[in-house]
Copies of this chain bind each other. A is one copy, B any other.
Amino acid sequence: MKLYDAPWAPSPRRVRIFLAEKGVVIDREHVDLRDGEHLRDAYLRINPRGAVPALELDDGEVLCESAAICRYIEALYPEPSLFGADPLAIGRIESWTRRIEGDGYAAAVYAFRNRSPAFVDRGLPGNWPPVAQIPELAARGMVMWDGFVSALDERLADRTWIAGGGYSFADITALVTIDFAKSAAKLSVPERAKHILRWHAAATARPSAAA
C-alpha cells in the first residue's frame, strides 16, 4: 500500500505519528499542496476529494480520511493499541478525539481558511466549487479555541495523557491540532494552561512527533 502524504499539513501528520507509534513503515508519495498538486487531475484520479492523506491499497482501492486510515492500520497492527483495548478506553479516546476535532481543530481550520489571501474562494479544504471565505468564522474560531484550551487543560490537571490510560489517538489528534493552530492560524496555548504545556512537552519528546 502507499500513503499520499504532505509534509506540513496536519491530517497527514496525524497518520505519520500514528504509524511511528505503531512502528509500521508504508511507502509514501508526497503531494505538493503549495503547488496545488492535490487539485490537479493526476491526483484527483486517486482521490477525487483533493485531500491528503489518502491510502492506496494494493488492489487500487483508496481509503480517505486520516481517522479511517488510522483505524485500518490499527486493525492490521493492533499493538500498541492507540484506539483503546477495552470498552471504557475505547469510549474515552473517541469522545476526546471528537471533542478535540470539533472544537480545537475546527477552530484552527476556520481561522486558517477564512482570512488568508491564499484561500480566496477556497473557504473549504479540498476539491469544491468556489466557496467564499467567511472572515466571521475566524472570530468564531477564537471562541471555540478558548473553550477547547480550558477544557483540555482541566482534563490534563491530573492525567499524563488525555484519555487517562497510555498515549492514544486522542493525544495524537491534540498534538497535531495544537501545532497546526499555532503555525497556521496563530492560535496558541496560553501560559496559564500549564497542564497542556506540560503534556505538550511530553508528547513532543516522543520520537513519533518528528514523523
Residues of A within 8 A of B (CB): 49, 55, 57, 61, 63-65, 67-69, 71-72, 75-76, 84, 86-88, 90-92, 94-95, 97-99, 123-124, 128-129, 131-132, 134, 136-137, 139-140, 143-144, 147
Contacts and interface: CB of A to CB of B under 8 A. Distances in A.
B132 A64 contact: no
Nearest to A70: B94
Copies held by the complex? 2
Contact of A65 (B67, B98, B132): B98
Contacts of A147: 128-129
A83 B76 CA distance: 15
A99 B131 contact: no
Given A68-B92, A71-B90, A128-B147, 4 more contacts: A49-B99, A132-B136, A132-B139, A137-B137
